[in-house]
Amino acid sequence: MIGDARELERRRAELVARSAALRAALARSAGPVVQKAAAADRLVTALRRHPLISAVAVGAVAFAGARSLLPWLTRALTLFALLRRI
Per-residue pLDDT of 3-18, as tens digits, reads 788 999 999 999 999 9
What pLDDT was estimated at residue 17? 97
Residues 6+ apart with CB under 8 A from 84: 37, 41
Q: What is the pLDDT of residues 20-41, one digit of tens each?
A: 999 999 888 888 888 888 888 8
pLDDT confidence bin for 2, thresholds 50/70/90: confident
Domain boundaries, the chain: 2-85
What pLDDT was estimated at residue 67? 66
Are 57 and 47 spatial neighbours (Cβ–Cβ below 8 Å)?
Answer: yes
What pLDDT was estimated at residue 32? 83
d(CA 12, CA 22): 15
Residues above pLDDT 70, as percent of the chain = 93
